Amino acid sequence: MKYEYIVIEGAIGAGKTSLAELFAQDFNAELVLERFVDNNFLPKFYKDPEHYAFPLEMTFLTDRYQQLKDLLSKRDLFKNLVVADYFIDKCLIFSKNNLNPDEYALFKKVYDMISSYLPKPDLLIYLHKTPENLMKNIIKRGRSYEQNIELIYLGAIQENYITYLKQWESFPVLMVESDHLDFVNNREDYLKLRALTLQSYPVGITPIIF
């Protein structure tokens, strides 16, 4: 293993958590999962985005920061790898989409103050799917508060991710076309993704198409 901190990213329904769990089990890694189920504002946001967007984004930011800060300062001495199903910078990606300009400016000030204390990943794997396939996964997993998400929203989030990641020049980003991969049920597909973590990559985006 060439890396100490791997992040799996993607839009809603991309399969981030499933792949992170498989990697963590396979590599005996410390697993960091986003605690979205504890965010009471999330169901309210999907019902009334304009009213609940700012408290939603602020609670996500503070919780993600605290979780990463606590974990990375208390690393398991028997595990040399951390695998997370989110990157702290997703706070900026979602907030820019969900907040009005004044709210976003305030949010970014808070983000800039706290994010500098967190390490950046050694490798980020972005699972790219079409909005239609993201929607299929969302419907399949059956979270009631997600069922009203619209394709246009998923498309906007995906575009924001790609635009943001293209600006990164600090670590490698693998942009994996995953529409035709079923790494949960197909061992061969999983091994293709696993093999990616055993190689070295240049800083910036590397497209991966199987």
The question of whether 85 is a catalytic residue gets the answer: yes
Question: What pLDDT, on the 0 to 100 scale, is given for residue 77?
Answer: 57
The 3-state DSSP class for residue 39 equals coil
Each residue's pLDDT tens digit, 61-119: 999 998 888 877 776 656 789 999 999 999 999 999 999 999 999 999 999 998 888 88
Q: How far apart are CA 39 and CA 9, in angstroms?
A: 19
Catalytic residue among 48, 63, 70, 85: 85
Q: Kind of pairing, strands 30-32 and 5-9? A: unpaired
Q: Taking 90 as the threshold, does the pLDDT of residue 5 lie above it?
A: yes
Cα→Cα distances 121→45, 67, 81, 170, Å: 29, 15, 11, 9
**Residue 4 DSSP symbol:** S
Residue found under tokens 């993201």:
134
Pick the CATH number of 5-208 from 3.20.20.80, 3.40.50.150, 3.40.920.10, 3.40.50.300: 3.40.50.300
% of the chain at pLDDT higher than 90: 73
pTM of the complete model: 0.92
* Per-residue confidence (pLDDT) for residue 24, from 0 to 100: 96
CA atoms within 13 A on the CB side of 63: 18
Q: Is-contact 147 31, C-beta < 8 A?
A: no
Tens-place pLDDT, residues 35-68: 876 678 888 988 898 999 999 999 999 999 988 8
CA proximity to 146, closest of 22, 23, 39, 19: 39
